[in-house]
Amino acid sequence: MIVVRHLNESWSQRILWLLDEVQAPYKVAFYQRDARTNLAPVELREIHRKSPVITEGDRVIAESGAIID
Ligand SMILES: N[C@@H](CCC(=O)N[C@@H](CS)C(=O)NCC(=O)O)C(=O)O
């Protein structure tokens, strides 16, 4: 199943909207920006440097355009 690695206040919100629109099954893993730097936490950066990113098993897909395609 697709897991949306969702960073608060980020473009990954668009991926949640898209998956809802196409009624695709997915789960959400939530990540919070660092309160001081506003950067993504290390747990997310270990998967990919930027949000949005989705995973499905071992596959990692980053970049909004690639995810939407
Ligand atoms: N070109 C990328 C842009 C990704 C991007 O700028 N992500 C920002 C949030 S919208 C981010 O991950 N910021 C947290 C950080 O840099 O640590 C895309 O469209 O996916």
- Would you list the domain boundaries of the chain? 2-68
Q: Whose CA is nearest to atom 19 of ligand 1?
A: 64
Would you identify the CATH topology of the domain 2-68?
Glutaredoxin (3.40.30)
Query: Does residue 64 have its Cβ closer than 6 Å to ligand 1?
Result: yes
CA of 41 to the centre of ligand 1 (A): 12
pTM comes to 0.93
Q: What separation in Å is there between the alpha carbon of 36 and the centre of ligand 1?
A: 17
Closest C-alpha to ligand 1, atom 18: 63
- 4-42 pLDDT per residue, tens: 999 999 999 999 999 999 999 999 999 999 999 999 999
Asked whether the beta carbons of 27 and 66 are under 8 A apart, the reply is no
Q: How far apart are CA 38 and CA 55, in angstroms?
A: 23
Rounded to 10 degrees, what is the CA torsion of 7, 8, 9, 11?
30
Confidence (pLDDT) at 35: 96
